[in-house]
């Protein structure tokens, strides 16, 4: 039986921690949440020699063990709780070769916890270009650790790092400096009062508001030990930080040499352009335009391929399997429903590809800095841009990302407006409706369809910002905060990181959506295939008597449509039709609106299932999802999907909440049902009014 050790991967943001994690674990990773906390828990398995495995936990980025946000607390709570099943046997602190001084502050703090700690100096391939040279032997001696010089770009040093992890027992537990010198009397009395506890651990318990298992704050504040006031503790923390940097400066004076004449000034020149008050915005919107154009152009061939083959598969099942309810369920329910999501994998993968490239290159931090100037005017900070941009993937992790915002008012407003940002779940709805109602044509080389898609993204972001402004005026919460962001160095995106990100995020989207869609498709098929009363049971006789001059195929379609209309799902749709008819929707679209509350992307799968059940189909026709929707008509023969109804539907989905999971996360983050209910009602009203105005105006 193989043995497994716990490895905690720790580091400042933008040190390349994700690259190290990917290099060690490859695809053997999964993402969840820490127990009771909506903070991402990324973990993976790294195979070492002799059957040994390393369970690697990628902890949230933190600058020090003096936590200022909820996700940073996760790091401290794990490192101080030996009873936690994930408590590390060895800590791997990742640093950036260009910012070694700042990164070493965290390293020295972790060493004081007497955990075996390995220092990874990442991006070593940049040393020559930046004129940096390191004396590894001297650094190891002063820091009392082992150092792995790594370049994930060139795959250098990874095998050496694995060897160090495997031999972690040989690494010194001894701290590299004596932090107690900042107030020896205080720390001596602390040690005397609690002789069985680690002094630096006690210090962190006293100064941080986190949970520590068996070490309770009440014990620390017992009568046997008199702690200091809050202001005195803050002053001591500042003295500790100064003391650590004095030690780090001494170490680097001997172990690091920088020839500034070799350092290039490309970064500052690029920053002057990319963060310019005019050109910065023009470049950003230009990049967005190119992304959306590419999403349409590059994904057309694989999408058409998938759509045609799902239509072929459904037809093959009908012909190859014996007629009956199971065959109908498989062809018209399961295959049609899943096909309604699988078709969008190429475009969603391309979206994640471009977002990953922007993040990996360091450009996304410039966008956050750029947008801070706009955000301030609307009651938000630049930090709010991170959740808003993250919302393009999914609103759930975006809402979680607000935990980095220290100010409660800014955090609450960001939580409430983030769902306006166009997420990947809306993308299938947008893409199919745009394909149906937006005509072909170009402006300055950009297609109408790409421009429409970009307009929806901008519209969602604009509505988020406007809503934030209104909430900032309404909510009577006093607040003041400052925005600080680190600008990482520009670098070519690492292909492996981009590939893993695209694969993992696309896989998550497909499987998470797939589970819901599969379940709903089966329920929908049952509700659409059965119904009460004579209108459903005697559909064939009723339709045959009414239409006497139709061909066999046309008659079958009329029978199928009649049965669908009088099925259980038809009754539900007809009940809500008066409410949605002013928006230009029929009862079938109404069913899609209801079911998509579970997940927005279910809308397309729902219509695919309904239209499959409601049509006998024509084997000789290219019977894809898109074509079935394009053929759909009202009872008067007018097309359902027109420019007016299409724009109305696009606006409804741009503004409506339509996501049960997001509401649950908002409830958890705000610890109240008040805010998610306000969010649901408010967004639904905005969506309905916008869709109504659009349909009435265009129609």
Q: Are residues 41 and 102 in the same domain?
A: yes
Does residue 359 lie in a domain region? Answer: yes
Integer Cα distance of 311 and 85 in angstroms:
49
Where b means 16+ CB within 10 Å and e means fewer, 446-481 reads: ebebbbbbbebbebbbebbbebbbebbeeeeeebee
Count CB atoms within 10 A of the CB of residue 583: 24
Q: Are residues 160 and 41 in the same domain?
A: yes
More confident site: 230 or 344: 230
Predicted confidence (pLDDT) at residue 216 exceeds the cutoff of 60: no
Q: How far is CA 508 from CA 107, 255, 400, 502, in A?
A: 34, 44, 17, 10
Q: Are residues 70 and 142 in the same domain?
A: yes
**Would you state the pLDDT for residue 51?**
80
Phi/psi of residue 55, each to 5°?
Answer: -90, 105
Integer Cα distance of 19 and 401 in angstroms:
20
Mean pLDDT across 252-279: 79
In angstroms and rounded to an integer, the radius of gyration of the C-alpha atoms of the chain is 30
Name every residue whose Cβ is closer than 8 Å to that of residue 375 and which is 6 or more positions away in sequence. Answer: 381, 382, 384, 385, 465, 468
Does residue 312 lie in a domain region? Answer: yes
Phi/psi of residue 473, each to 5°?
Answer: -80, -35
More confident site: 474 or 292: 474
Does residue 607 lie in a domain region? Answer: yes
| HSE of 213, CA atoms in CB hemisphere, 13 A | 15
Integer Cα distance of 426 and 440 in angstroms:
22
The answer to whether the beta carbons of residues 465 and 378 sit under 8 Å apart is yes
**Would you state the pLDDT for residue 28?**
62
Does residue 397 lie in a domain region? Answer: yes
> Measured on CA atoms in the order 34, 37, 39, 40, is the torsion positive or negative?
positive
**Would you state the pLDDT for residue 509?**
66
The answer to whether the beta carbons of residues 498 and 356 sit under 8 Å apart is yes
The answer to whether the beta carbons of residues 12 and 61 sit under 8 Å apart is yes
Q: Are residues 533 and 602 in the same domain?
A: yes
Q: Are residues 423 and 512 in the same domain?
A: no
Mean pLDDT across 141-170: 90
When divided into structural domains, the chain yields a total of 3
Integer Cα distance of 145 and 173 in angstroms:
9
Q: Are residues 72 and 104 in the same domain?
A: yes
Count CB atoms within 10 A of the CB of residue 70: 20
pLDDT digits (tens, 9 = 90+) for 365-408: 788 778 777 777 777 766 677 677 767 766 776 776 676 676 77
Token pair in block for residue 613: 């059940």
Token pair in block for residue 67: 């936590």
Phi/psi of residue 6, each to 5°?
Answer: -95, 130
pLDDT digits (tens, 9 = 90+) for 61-87: 888 888 766 667 788 888 888 888 889
Helices (H), 194-229: 199-207, 217-220
Q: Are residues 31 and 164 in the same domain?
A: yes
Residue that the structure tokens 């955000």 belong to? 375
Mean pLDDT across 575-597: 86
CATH number for the domain spanning 63: value is 3.40.50.300
- CB-count burial class (<10 Å; 0-12, 13-18, 19+) for 497: buried
Domain end call among 120, 146, 170: 170
The closest alpha carbon to 419, from 694, 674, 661, belongs to 661
Reduce the DSSP state of residue 147 to 3 states and report it.
strand
Token pair in block for residue 685: 């009203």
Lowest-pLDDT range of 180-189, 476-485, 509-518: 476-485
Integer Cα distance of 597 and 543 in angstroms:
34
Q: How far is CA 638 from CA 236, 632, 642, in A?
A: 76, 9, 9
DSSP class of residue 196 equals: T
The answer to whether the beta carbons of residues 574 and 622 sit under 8 Å apart is no
The closest alpha carbon to 341, from 603, 654, 628, 641, belongs to 603
**Would you state the pLDDT for residue 484?**
58
Where b means 16+ CB within 10 Å and e means fewer, 211-220 reads: ebeebeeeeb
Does residue 243 lie in a domain region? Answer: no
Q: Are residues 345 and 416 in the same domain?
A: yes
**Would you state the pLDDT for residue 263?**
53
Lowest-pLDDT range of 50-59, 205-214, 258-267, 346-355: 205-214
More confident site: 385 or 526: 526
Predicted confidence (pLDDT) at residue 664 exceeds the cutoff of 50: yes
The mean predicted confidence, pLDDT, of the chain is: 80
**Would you state the pLDDT for residue 222?**
46
The closest alpha carbon to 92, from 29, 148, 48, belongs to 148
Beta bridge partners of 639: 633
**Would you state the pLDDT for residue 340?**
64
Beta bridge partners of 436: none
Residue 619 pLDDT level (bands cut at 50, 70, 90): very low
Does residue 545 lie in a domain region? Answer: yes
Residue that the structure tokens 């497909």 belong to? 510
**Would you state the pLDDT for residue 110?**
93
**Would you state the pLDDT for residue 404?**
65
Residue range(s) defining the domain that contains residue 577: 495-698
Predicted confidence (pLDDT) at residue 89 exceeds the cutoff of 90: yes
Integer Cα distance of 206 and 215 in angstroms:
11
The answer to whether the beta carbons of residues 109 and 103 sit under 8 Å apart is no
SS3 per residue for 663-696: HHHHHHHHCCCHHHHHHHHHHHHHHHHHHHHHHH
Residue 517 pLDDT level (bands cut at 50, 70, 90): low
Integer Cα distance of 468 and 415 in angstroms:
10
Q: Are residues 419 and 514 in the same domain?
A: no
Q: Are residues 19 and 155 in the same domain?
A: yes
Domain end call among 170, 199, 229: 170
Predicted confidence (pLDDT) at residue 514 exceeds the cutoff of 50: yes
The answer to whether the beta carbons of residues 113 and 215 sit under 8 Å apart is no
The closest alpha carbon to 23, from 112, 89, 88, 94, belongs to 94
Integer Cα distance of 697 and 412 in angstroms:
35
Residue 23 pLDDT level (bands cut at 50, 70, 90): confident
Name every residue whose Cβ is closer than 8 Å to that of residue 204 and which is 6 or more positions away in sequence. Answer: 65, 76, 80
Does residue 274 lie in a domain region? Answer: no
Integer Cα distance of 499 and 356 in angstroms:
9
Domain end call among 143, 170, 197: 170
Does residue 605 lie in a domain region? Answer: yes
- CB-count burial class (<10 Å; 0-12, 13-18, 19+) for 111: buried
Count CB atoms within 10 A of the CB of residue 394: 21
The answer to whether the beta carbons of residues 390 and 397 sit under 8 Å apart is yes
Q: Are residues 379 and 509 in the same domain?
A: no
Lowest-pLDDT range of 257-261, 381-385, 489-493, 600-604: 381-385
Q: Are residues 16 and 104 in the same domain?
A: yes
Q: What whole-number percentage of the chain has pLDDT above 70? A: 84
| Consecutive H or E run containing 660 | helix 660-670
């Amino acid at each position: 039986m193989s043995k497994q050790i716990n490895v905690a991967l720790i580091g400042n943001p933008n040190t390349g921690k994700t690259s190290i994690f990917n290099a060690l674990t490859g695809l053997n990773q999964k993402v969840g949440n820490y127990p009771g906390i909506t903070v991402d828990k990324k973990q993976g398995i790294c195979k070492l020699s002799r059957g040994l495995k390393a369970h690697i936990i990628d902890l949230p980025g933190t600058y020090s063990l003096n936590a200022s946000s909820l996700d940073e607390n996760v790091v401290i709570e794990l490192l101080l709780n030996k009873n936690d099943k994930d408590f590390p046997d060895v800590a791997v602190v990742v640093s950036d070769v260009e910012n070694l001084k700042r990164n070493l502050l965290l390293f020295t703090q972790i060493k004081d916890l007497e955990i075996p700690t390995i220092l990874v100096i990442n991006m070593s391939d940049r040393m020559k270009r930046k004129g940096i040279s390191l004396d590894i032997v001297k650094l190891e001696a002063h820091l009392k650790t082992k150092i792995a010089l790594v370049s994930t770009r060139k795959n250098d040093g990874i095998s050496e790092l694995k060897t160090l992890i495997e031999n972690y027992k040989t690494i010194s537990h001894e701290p590299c400096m004596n932090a107690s010198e900042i107030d020896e009397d205080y720390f001596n009395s602390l040690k005397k009062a609690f002789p069985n506890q680690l002094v630096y651990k006690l210090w962190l318990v006293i100064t941080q508001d986190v949970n520590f298992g068996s070490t309770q704050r009440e014990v620390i504040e017992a009568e046997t030990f008199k702690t200091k006031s809050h202001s005195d503790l803050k002053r001591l923390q500042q003295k500790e930080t100064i003391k650590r940097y004095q030690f780090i400066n001494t170490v680097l004076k001997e172990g690091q040499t920088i020839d500034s004449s070799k350092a290039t000034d490309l970064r500052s020149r690029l920053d002057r352009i990319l963060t310019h008050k005019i050109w910065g915005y023009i470049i950003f919107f230009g990049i967005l335009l190119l992304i959306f154009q590419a999403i349409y152009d590059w994904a057309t061939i694989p999408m058409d391929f998938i759509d045609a083959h799902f239509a072929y598969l459904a037809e093959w099942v009908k012909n190859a399997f014996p007629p009956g309810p199971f065959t109908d369920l498989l062809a018209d329910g399961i295959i049609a429903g899943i096909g309604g999501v699988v078709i969008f994998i190429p475009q969603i993968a391309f979206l994640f590809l471009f977002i990953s490239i922007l993040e990996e290159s360091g450009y996304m931090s410039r966008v956050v800095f750029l947008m801070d100037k706009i955000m301030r005017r609307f009651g938000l900070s630049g930090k709010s841009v991170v959740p808003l941009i993250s919302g393009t993937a999914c609103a759930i992790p975006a809402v979680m990302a607000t935990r980095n915002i220290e100010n409660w008012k800014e955090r609450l407003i960001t939580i409430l407006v983030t769902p306006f940002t166009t997420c990947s779940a809306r993308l299938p709805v947008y893409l199919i409706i745009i394909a149906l109602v937006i005509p072909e044509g170009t402006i300055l080389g950009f297609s109408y369809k790409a421009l429409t898609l970009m307009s929806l993204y901008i519209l969602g972001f604009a509505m988020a910002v406007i809503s934030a402004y209104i909430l900032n005026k309404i909510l009577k919460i006093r607040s003041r905060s400052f925005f600080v962001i680190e600008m990482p160095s520009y670098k070519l995106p690492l292909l492996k990181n981009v590939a893993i990100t695209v694969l993992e995020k696309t896989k998550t989207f497909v499987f998470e959506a797939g589970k819901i869609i599969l379940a709903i498709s089966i329920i929908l098929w049952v509700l659409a295939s059965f119904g009460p009363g004579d209108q459903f049971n005697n559909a064939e006789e009723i339709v045959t008597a009414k239409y006497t001059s139709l061909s066999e195929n046309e008659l079958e379609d009329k029978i199928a449509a009649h049965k669908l209309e009088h099925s259980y799902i038809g009754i539900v749709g007809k009940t809500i039709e008066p409410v949605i008819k002013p928006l230009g929707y029929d009862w079938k679209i109404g069913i899609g609106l209801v079911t998509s509350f579970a997940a927005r992307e279910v809308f397309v799968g729902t219509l695919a299932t309904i239209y499959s059940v409601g049509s006998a189909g024509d084997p000789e026709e290219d019977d894809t999802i898109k074509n079935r929707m394009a053929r759909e008509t009202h009872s008067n023969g007018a097309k359902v999907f027109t420019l007016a109804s299409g724009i109305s539907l696009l606006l409804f989905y741009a503004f409506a909440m339509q996501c049960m999971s997001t509401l649950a996360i908002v409830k958890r983050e705000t610890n109240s049902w008040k805010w998610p209910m306000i969010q649901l009602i408010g967004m639904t009203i905005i969506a309905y009014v916008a869709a109504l105005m659009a349909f009435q105006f265009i129609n």
